[in-house]
Amino acid sequence: MVRVHTKPDTLNELNPQFQQQVLTVPVFLNSVPKCGTHLIRNIFRMFVPVNQQYHDAFIQIPLLRQHIHAFNPLQPKLSWGHLLFSDESAMALRKSKQIVVVRDPYDWVLARARFFLSDNFQGNLEHLKSGQIKLDEIINLMIFGIHDKAPSMSDIYTHNAVAWLGTGVNLVRMEELLHHVKNLETDEAEAYFRELLSILQLREFPSDWRERVRVGSDREQSGTYRDNLSNTAFEIPAQLSEQQKRLVNYAAPGLREILGYGHAKT
Protein backbone atom coordinates (compact mmCIF):
# COMPACT_ATOMS: atom_id res chain seq x y z
CA MET A 1 0.00 0.00 0.00
CA VAL A 2 1.25 3.46 -0.87
CA ARG A 3 1.61 5.91 2.03
CA VAL A 4 2.43 9.59 1.80
CA HIS A 5 3.64 11.24 5.00
CA THR A 6 3.22 15.01 5.23
CA LYS A 7 2.90 17.46 8.08
CA PRO A 8 -0.60 18.90 8.68
CA ASP A 9 -1.32 22.48 7.67
CA THR A 10 -3.07 25.18 9.67
CA LEU A 11 -5.25 26.66 6.93
CA ASN A 12 -8.55 25.68 8.57
CA GLU A 13 -7.55 27.81 11.54
CA LEU A 14 -6.46 30.71 9.32
CA ASN A 15 -9.54 30.62 7.09
CA PRO A 16 -11.88 32.48 9.53
CA GLN A 17 -9.55 35.48 9.42
CA PHE A 18 -11.23 36.26 6.11
CA GLN A 19 -14.90 36.94 5.52
CA GLN A 20 -16.21 33.99 3.54
CA GLN A 21 -19.04 33.77 1.02
CA VAL A 22 -21.30 30.73 0.79
CA LEU A 23 -20.39 28.32 -2.00
CA THR A 24 -23.44 27.77 -4.22
CA VAL A 25 -22.12 25.12 -6.65
CA PRO A 26 -19.94 22.02 -6.15
CA VAL A 27 -16.35 22.65 -7.27
CA PHE A 28 -13.79 19.90 -7.82
CA LEU A 29 -10.07 20.61 -8.10
CA ASN A 30 -8.74 17.79 -10.25
CA SER A 31 -5.09 17.40 -11.14
CA VAL A 32 -2.39 15.22 -12.57
CA PRO A 33 -0.35 14.00 -9.58
CA LYS A 34 2.72 16.18 -8.88
CA CYS A 35 1.27 19.23 -10.64
CA GLY A 36 0.77 21.66 -7.78
CA THR A 37 -2.28 19.96 -6.30
CA HIS A 38 -1.67 21.31 -2.79
CA LEU A 39 -0.90 24.79 -4.08
CA ILE A 40 -4.18 25.29 -5.91
CA ARG A 41 -6.16 23.48 -3.22
CA ASN A 42 -4.74 25.67 -0.46
CA ILE A 43 -5.36 28.87 -2.38
CA PHE A 44 -8.98 27.93 -3.03
CA ARG A 45 -9.45 26.98 0.62
CA MET A 46 -8.94 30.63 1.54
CA PHE A 47 -12.04 31.60 -0.47
CA VAL A 48 -14.50 28.96 0.79
CA PRO A 49 -15.92 28.42 4.31
CA VAL A 50 -14.26 25.51 6.10
CA ASN A 51 -17.62 23.78 6.58
CA GLN A 52 -18.01 23.70 2.79
CA GLN A 53 -14.61 22.10 2.22
CA TYR A 54 -14.60 18.32 1.76
CA HIS A 55 -11.77 17.00 3.93
CA ASP A 56 -13.00 13.42 4.22
CA ALA A 57 -10.89 12.12 1.33
CA PHE A 58 -8.57 12.96 -1.50
CA ILE A 59 -10.95 11.69 -4.16
CA GLN A 60 -9.77 9.09 -6.66
CA ILE A 61 -11.56 6.42 -8.67
CA PRO A 62 -11.32 3.65 -6.01
CA LEU A 63 -12.99 6.01 -3.50
CA LEU A 64 -15.49 7.66 -5.83
CA ARG A 65 -18.64 5.75 -4.87
CA GLN A 66 -17.87 6.09 -1.18
CA HIS A 67 -17.53 9.87 -1.48
CA ILE A 68 -20.04 10.64 -4.23
CA HIS A 69 -21.88 13.01 -1.88
CA ALA A 70 -18.96 15.44 -2.21
CA PHE A 71 -20.55 16.47 -5.52
CA ASN A 72 -24.12 16.89 -4.24
CA PRO A 73 -25.45 20.17 -5.74
CA LEU A 74 -27.89 20.52 -2.84
CA GLN A 75 -24.96 20.68 -0.39
CA PRO A 76 -22.16 22.32 -2.40
CA LYS A 77 -18.61 21.51 -1.40
CA LEU A 78 -15.10 22.33 -2.53
CA SER A 79 -13.32 19.01 -3.04
CA TRP A 80 -10.09 17.82 -4.64
CA GLY A 81 -8.28 14.74 -5.92
CA HIS A 82 -6.79 12.88 -8.87
CA LEU A 83 -9.90 11.66 -10.63
CA LEU A 84 -9.24 10.01 -13.97
CA PHE A 85 -11.72 10.34 -16.81
CA SER A 86 -14.32 7.56 -16.96
CA ASP A 87 -18.05 7.09 -17.34
CA GLU A 88 -18.44 6.98 -13.54
CA SER A 89 -16.44 10.13 -12.90
CA ALA A 90 -18.21 11.99 -15.70
CA MET A 91 -21.59 11.12 -14.20
CA ALA A 92 -20.45 12.01 -10.69
CA LEU A 93 -19.25 15.46 -11.78
CA ARG A 94 -22.07 16.32 -14.17
CA LYS A 95 -23.41 19.08 -11.90
CA SER A 96 -20.04 20.26 -10.60
CA LYS A 97 -17.54 22.82 -11.83
CA GLN A 98 -14.12 21.31 -12.42
CA ILE A 99 -10.53 22.47 -12.76
CA VAL A 100 -7.78 20.22 -14.13
CA VAL A 101 -4.22 21.19 -13.19
CA VAL A 102 -1.23 20.14 -15.30
CA ARG A 103 2.45 21.00 -15.59
CA ASP A 104 5.01 20.73 -18.36
CA PRO A 105 5.73 17.00 -18.78
CA TYR A 106 9.46 17.77 -18.91
CA ASP A 107 9.32 19.15 -15.36
CA TRP A 108 6.75 16.60 -14.20
CA VAL A 109 9.18 13.73 -14.79
CA LEU A 110 11.68 15.31 -12.40
CA ALA A 111 9.00 16.13 -9.81
CA ARG A 112 7.79 12.53 -9.88
CA ALA A 113 11.33 11.22 -9.39
CA ARG A 114 11.96 13.67 -6.53
CA PHE A 115 8.78 12.54 -4.78
CA PHE A 116 9.35 8.80 -5.22
CA LEU A 117 12.89 9.12 -3.89
CA SER A 118 11.86 11.05 -0.78
CA ASP A 119 11.12 9.56 2.62
CA ASN A 120 7.64 11.09 2.41
CA PHE A 121 6.69 8.40 -0.12
CA GLN A 122 6.45 4.82 1.08
CA GLY A 123 5.17 2.05 -1.16
CA ASN A 124 6.41 -0.77 -3.33
CA LEU A 125 9.22 1.32 -4.84
CA GLU A 126 11.59 1.53 -1.87
CA HIS A 127 14.30 -0.20 -3.92
CA LEU A 128 14.62 2.95 -6.04
CA LYS A 129 16.21 4.65 -3.01
CA SER A 130 18.83 1.92 -2.52
CA GLY A 131 21.42 3.31 -4.92
CA GLN A 132 21.35 0.14 -7.01
CA ILE A 133 19.66 1.97 -9.89
CA LYS A 134 21.29 4.97 -11.55
CA LEU A 135 19.47 8.32 -11.52
CA ASP A 136 19.20 8.42 -15.31
CA GLU A 137 17.55 5.00 -15.20
CA ILE A 138 15.14 6.16 -12.50
CA ILE A 139 14.17 9.17 -14.61
CA ASN A 140 13.52 6.89 -17.56
CA LEU A 141 11.29 4.78 -15.31
CA MET A 142 9.32 7.94 -14.49
CA ILE A 143 8.75 8.43 -18.22
CA PHE A 144 7.93 4.87 -19.26
CA GLY A 145 6.52 3.50 -16.02
CA ILE A 146 7.42 0.40 -14.02
CA HIS A 147 5.70 -2.84 -14.98
CA ASP A 148 2.97 -3.75 -12.48
CA LYS A 149 4.16 -1.02 -10.08
CA ALA A 150 3.76 2.47 -11.55
CA PRO A 151 1.93 3.69 -14.68
CA SER A 152 3.70 5.49 -17.49
CA MET A 153 3.70 9.26 -17.92
CA SER A 154 1.55 8.85 -21.03
CA ASP A 155 -1.11 6.84 -19.17
CA ILE A 156 -1.27 9.30 -16.28
CA TYR A 157 -1.58 12.38 -18.46
CA THR A 158 -4.02 10.71 -20.84
CA HIS A 159 -6.51 9.64 -18.20
CA ASN A 160 -6.08 12.43 -15.63
CA ALA A 161 -5.91 15.39 -18.00
CA VAL A 162 -6.13 14.99 -21.77
CA ALA A 163 -9.31 12.89 -21.75
CA TRP A 164 -11.06 15.65 -19.77
CA LEU A 165 -10.31 18.32 -22.40
CA GLY A 166 -13.26 19.59 -24.39
CA THR A 167 -15.76 18.64 -21.68
CA GLY A 168 -16.09 22.08 -20.12
CA VAL A 169 -13.28 21.78 -17.56
CA ASN A 170 -10.98 24.71 -16.80
CA LEU A 171 -7.39 23.77 -17.67
CA VAL A 172 -4.81 25.34 -15.35
CA ARG A 173 -1.08 25.20 -16.07
CA MET A 174 0.94 25.07 -12.88
CA GLU A 175 3.67 27.32 -14.27
CA GLU A 176 1.22 30.14 -14.96
CA LEU A 177 -0.29 29.79 -11.49
CA LEU A 178 3.16 29.98 -9.89
CA HIS A 179 4.12 32.99 -12.00
CA HIS A 180 1.13 34.98 -10.82
CA VAL A 181 1.55 33.84 -7.19
CA LYS A 182 5.05 35.34 -7.33
CA ASN A 183 3.83 38.57 -8.94
CA LEU A 184 0.66 39.29 -6.97
CA GLU A 185 0.95 43.07 -7.14
CA THR A 186 0.54 43.20 -10.92
CA ASP A 187 -2.64 43.89 -12.87
CA GLU A 188 -1.99 40.68 -14.78
CA ALA A 189 -2.12 38.68 -11.54
CA GLU A 190 -5.43 40.25 -10.58
CA ALA A 191 -6.92 39.41 -13.97
CA TYR A 192 -5.58 35.86 -13.69
CA PHE A 193 -6.99 35.19 -10.22
CA ARG A 194 -10.32 36.79 -11.04
CA GLU A 195 -10.64 34.34 -13.92
CA LEU A 196 -9.30 31.35 -11.97
CA LEU A 197 -11.58 31.92 -8.98
CA SER A 198 -14.64 32.72 -11.10
CA ILE A 199 -15.42 29.02 -10.99
CA LEU A 200 -16.50 29.55 -7.36
CA GLN A 201 -19.21 31.93 -8.59
CA LEU A 202 -18.56 34.33 -5.72
CA ARG A 203 -21.13 37.06 -5.30
CA GLU A 204 -18.32 39.59 -4.95
CA PHE A 205 -14.59 39.23 -5.64
CA PRO A 206 -12.87 39.85 -2.27
CA SER A 207 -10.82 43.02 -2.00
CA ASP A 208 -8.31 41.12 0.18
CA TRP A 209 -7.73 38.45 -2.47
CA ARG A 210 -3.97 39.03 -2.51
CA GLU A 211 -3.59 38.25 1.20
CA ARG A 212 -5.75 35.14 0.83
CA VAL A 213 -3.55 33.92 -2.01
CA ARG A 214 -0.40 34.67 0.01
CA VAL A 215 -1.67 32.64 2.95
CA GLY A 216 -2.85 29.74 0.81
CA SER A 217 0.32 29.61 -1.28
CA ASP A 218 2.67 29.63 1.71
CA ARG A 219 5.14 26.82 1.03
CA GLU A 220 5.20 25.88 4.69
CA GLN A 221 1.54 24.85 4.35
CA SER A 222 2.32 22.27 1.64
CA GLY A 223 3.83 19.02 2.86
CA THR A 224 4.66 17.90 -0.67
CA TYR A 225 6.40 21.11 -1.80
CA ARG A 226 9.85 20.11 -3.06
CA ASP A 227 11.75 21.86 -0.23
CA ASN A 228 9.56 20.10 2.33
CA LEU A 229 10.34 16.61 1.05
CA SER A 230 12.76 14.92 3.44
CA ASN A 231 15.97 13.01 2.71
CA THR A 232 15.82 12.93 -1.07
CA ALA A 233 18.23 10.12 -1.94
CA PHE A 234 19.61 11.70 -5.11
CA GLU A 235 20.45 15.19 -6.34
CA ILE A 236 17.69 15.73 -8.89
CA PRO A 237 18.78 17.97 -11.80
CA ALA A 238 17.01 21.25 -12.54
CA GLN A 239 15.96 20.05 -15.98
CA LEU A 240 15.97 16.95 -18.15
CA SER A 241 18.85 16.18 -20.46
CA GLU A 242 18.25 16.73 -24.16
CA GLN A 243 18.10 12.94 -24.61
CA GLN A 244 15.43 12.58 -21.93
CA LYS A 245 13.38 15.41 -23.45
CA ARG A 246 13.42 13.45 -26.70
CA LEU A 247 12.31 10.37 -24.75
CA VAL A 248 9.34 12.32 -23.32
CA ASN A 249 8.37 13.39 -26.83
CA TYR A 250 8.70 9.78 -28.03
CA ALA A 251 6.71 8.36 -25.12
CA ALA A 252 3.86 10.88 -25.47
CA PRO A 253 3.99 12.58 -28.88
CA GLY A 254 1.86 15.72 -29.00
CA LEU A 255 1.26 15.80 -25.24
CA ARG A 256 3.04 19.07 -24.53
CA GLU A 257 1.36 20.75 -27.48
CA ILE A 258 -2.19 19.75 -26.57
CA LEU A 259 -1.63 21.05 -23.02
CA GLY A 260 -0.45 24.38 -24.37
CA TYR A 261 3.28 24.09 -23.85
CA GLY A 262 4.13 24.02 -27.55
CA HIS A 263 7.82 24.13 -28.27
CA ALA A 264 8.76 26.59 -25.55
CA LYS A 265 11.23 24.08 -24.15
CA THR A 266 13.31 21.88 -26.42
Task: Give 186-244 as a DSSP string.
Answer: SHHHHHHHHHHHGGG--SS--TTHHHHHHHHT-GGG-TTSGGG----SS---SS--HHH
Confidence of residue 223 (pLDDT cuts 50, 70, 90): low
| CA–CA gap between residue 227 and residue 115 (Å, rounded) | 11
| CA–CA gap between residue 12 and residue 8 (Å, rounded) | 10
pLDDT at 265 over 50: no
Q: How many percent of the chain have pLDDT more than 70?
A: 86
The pLDDT score that the predictor gives to residue 5 is 45
Higher pLDDT among residues 226 and 190, named by residue: 190
The pLDDT score that the predictor gives to residue 117 is 84
What is the average per-residue pLDDT within 220-228? 58
pLDDT at 244 over 70: yes
The pLDDT score that the predictor gives to residue 2 is 44
Q: What is the pLDDT of residues 1-15, one digit of tens each?
A: 344 445 678 999 999
Whole-number mean pLDDT of the chain? 90
| pTM check: above 0.85 | yes
Beta bridge partners, 172, equal 101
pLDDT at 74 over 60: yes
Q: Give the strand pairing for 121-122 and 3-4.
A: antiparallel
Confidence of residue 220 (pLDDT cuts 50, 70, 90): confident
| CA–CA gap between residue 105 and residue 266 (Å, rounded) | 12
**Collapsed DSSP state (helix, strand, coil) of residue 111:** helix
The pLDDT score that the predictor gives to residue 125 is 62
* DSSP tag of 102: E
